[in-house]
Amino acid sequence: MDNSLQDPLLGHVLDARYRVDARIATGGMATVYRALDTRLDRVVALKVMHPALAVDAGFVERFIREAKSVARLSHPNVVGVFDQGAQGAYVYLAMEYVPGCTLRDVLRERVALCPRAALDVLESVLAALGAAHRAGLVHRDMKPENVLIGDDGRVKVADFGLVRSVDSRTGSTGPVLGTVAYLAPEQIEDGAADTRVDVYACGIVLYEMLTGGKPHTGDTTAQVLYRHVNEDVPAPSATVPGTAVELDELVAAATARDPRLRPRDAVALLAALRSTRAALTEAQLDAVPPGADDAAHDSAEDRTSVIPRALGIPRPLPVNEDAIGGGPDDVQRTALLGRPVPVRSRFGGLLTGRPPRRAVAGLGALLLVLLAGIGVWYINSGQFTKVPALLTQTEADARERLTDAGLDVGDVRREYSDTNRRGTVIATDPTVGSRIRGNGSVGLTVSLGPQTVRVPDVTDRTLAVARKEITAAGLEPGMVTDAFDTTVPRGEVISTDPAAGTERRAGSAVAIILSRGAPVEVPELGGKSLGQAQEALAELGLKSEIAPERVTAKVPAGEVAQQFPRARSEVAEGDTVTLTLSEGPEMIEVPDVVGDGVDDARQTLEAAGFEVKVDRGILGLFGDTVDEQSVAAGEEAPEGSEITLHIG
C-alpha cells in the first residue's frame, strides 16, 4: 500500500508558500519532504513535526531552537535552515535541499569503507561540528543518518534537532535523548552533554565506517547502554585484521569512556585525524576492508529516541569485602556476587562449642524445611531453564548455545529480512528469556537476507498507476521529477531510476520521471495588445493570466510590457504565461540642446531616454549646430518618444 497517497500534505501549499511535492524520509519526530518555495522559486527540504507531537510545548521549543541555532551557523558542511513557521497542527522548518544520499545509505550498499574514504567523510563532519562547537553548540545526535552526501560529493551534517548549548545539562533523573548506538557514557549516566559527546559519537561512526558494524550491540536497549558505560570500544583491527594501528588509536582516543581522556571538541579531533592521515601510507589509506555485503545496518538502535532512565542500566556491583555484613543490603549484595553470606543470629555463639539438643533439634527442623523447599523448587523451577540470547547470532552459534543450555533445536524457518544479516537468527519460539523445560526444543527463524525484487516497467502509466505497480512489486515509490518528452504524453511516466528490470532490495525507493510533453517555445509578446498576446498563446496550447499591477514602460498603455516566462523559454503545453500590461511610458522633461553640436545633442537626449532624429535642411548640409528641436526645452514627452533636431 502506498502510504504517500494518504499523506495530507502531498500536493498542498503549506503556509501559503511551500508546495509539498514528495516525501523524502520519516523519522520518530518529523517527516521530511521535498518542496518548492513558491516565493523564491527554489527547492527546499521541509521538515514537518508530526502533528501528534506539536501539542507538546517541549518538542515545539526544540524545533524552534534548531532553527535559531543552525541559522547562527554559516558553514559549507552544515545543512542551512532558511525559515521556520507553523500552520495549524503543522510546525515546520524549511532547510537546504541536498540531492544525494546519507552515509547510512552508503554503508548499507558498501558495508565498510576504505580508510581514505572514511577519513574524508569524517573530516567534513568534524569541520561542521567544529563550527558548531566554537559557536557554543552541541549536536547530541551524530550518526550516519545525519550525514548527507550530495550528488556533487559534498558532505553536510543535518538534523540539529537535539542541539543544546555547551553548558546545558539534562537532569540525571530525566530521559536521555539520542540514538542508543552512539550515546556517550556520561550521557547515559547523568545526562551530561558537552562537546565531547559529539566526539564520542564521531568515534563510533568512524569505527562503523572502518568495520561495517557497531562496536556495542545487544538484544535489548539496556544491554547496549550497559556496554557503552562499562566496555571499551574494541579496536577496528580486531574485526578487520590489517587495519593500521594509527586508526585503532584514533578510534580509542575519540571513544574513551572517561570524557577527560577524549579530544576536547571536534576541532581537536580534526587535528588528530589529520595527524593520523599523515602517518598512513597510500597502501594503508586505500586498503579495501574484507567486506561482507551481508552486514546489516538498519535497526531500532539507529533511530533517535527518548530513553527513560527507568530502564535500570545494569552496572557492575562494587566489591568491598570489609563492608559485607549481616543486614538485608549485605545479603542482597553478596547473593548477587555469588559469595557466602556470613550468618549472624542469636545462634552464632552456640555454634562455636558443642550445640545443645534444642539447637540440634532446631537445626534439624530447619534442614527438613530447606530440603522440602529444594524439592518444591525442583518440581516447579528446577526442571526449567530460560531460552538463551540468540537474536543476531549465526545459526551455528545459536545451535551451540542451545546445546550448551541442554536444549534441542526445533523447527528452523527461513525468512527474508531487510534488517538482519543473512544466516543470523531473527526470532525464536519460545521467545528469548522465556521459561522452558530443560530438555525442550527451541525453534529458530533465520534470515535469508534482504529480498531482491525486479523494478517493474511503468512506462506510459499515470503517476497514480505507476505508484501502485511499484508498491505491488515490493518497492517504494520515491521522488517524482519531470522532463520534456516528444513521444510520451504529458503526465505519464517516461522512465524510472533504477531502470525497469533492475534487481533491487525489497523496500528500496524508485524515483519516477514524468513527462511534461513536448516543449513549447514562448513567443515574444512585448508591445502586443492584450488580445493579440492571448490569441498567440492559445494557438500554442498555452494559458494566460494578467498580473494585477501595471508598470510604466515605453510601450503604450494597455499593451504587454513584461511576460513570464520570457520569450524563447521552453514550457509545457497547458502551462500559464503571466502578462504584465503597461500603464504607459513615463513623462520626462526635455532638455535644451539648441546651439549644441549634433553629436552632443544626440548624446544628451538619448541619456534622458529619448530617440533622436536629425533633419538637415539645404543650408544645414555642411552645418553641425542644432537650430531647433521638435519639442521645446522644459516640456514633457513620453519616455522613448522621438525628438527631431533641425540643422541649418
Q: Residue 372 in 3-state DSSP?
A: helix
Q: Are 412 and 395 in contact (CB under 8 A)?
A: yes
Q: Are 96 and 44 in contact (CB under 8 A)?
A: yes
Integer angstrom CA distances of residue 58 from 54, 167, 200: 9, 19, 26
Q: For residue 234, what are the β-bridge partners?
A: none
Compute φ and ψ for 285, nearest 5 degrees: -65, -35
622: Cβ contacts below 8 Å, ≥ 6 apart: 648
Distances (CA, A) of 643 to 591, 601, 610, 629: 11, 11, 7, 7
Phi-psi region of 197 (alpha: psi -120 to 50; beta: other; left: phi over 0): alpha
Helices (H), 541-637: 598-608
Supply 25's cell numbers.
524520509
Q: Which residues contact 318 (CB under 8 A, 6 or more apart)?
A: none
Which cell numbers hold the place of 282? 597510500
Give the residue numbers marked as catalytic: 141
d(CA 219, CA 626): 98
User: Residue 143's closest CA among 204, 73, 58?
Assistant: 204
The HSE-up count of residue 625 (CA atoms within 13 Å, CB side) is 3
Q: Is 357 exposed, middle or buried (0-12, 13-18, 19+ CB in 10 A)?
A: exposed
Q: Looking at this protein, which amino acid is placed at residue 622?
A: F
Burial of 648 (0-12, 13-18, 19+ CB in 10 A): middle
Would you state the torsion angle of the CA atoms of residues 158, 162, 166, 169, taken in this order, to the nearest 10 degrees? -160
Tell me 595's DSSP state: T
d(CA 96, CA 82): 7
Under a CB-based contact definition with an 8 Å cutoff, are residues 406 and 388 in contact? no
Determine contact, residues 93/83, Cβ cutoff 8 Å. Answer: yes
In sequence order, what E strands does 438-593 have? 441-447, 452-454, 476-483, 493-497, 503-505, 509-515, 519-521, 543-546, 560-564, 570-572, 576-581, 587-589
CA triple 334-336-341, angle to 5 deg: 25
**Cα–Cα dist 188/177, whole Å:** 9
The DSSP code sequence of 490-506 is TTBEEEEESPTT-EEET
For 413, other C-beta atoms within 10 Å of its C-beta total 12
- Of how many residues is the chain composed? 648
Using DSSP, state whether 553 is helix, strand or coil. coil
Percent helix, strand and coil across the chain, each rounded to 5? 35, 25, 40
Amino acid at 83: D
Q: Which residues of 583-594 are buried (b: 16+ CB within 10 A; e: fewer)?
A: ebbeeeebbebe
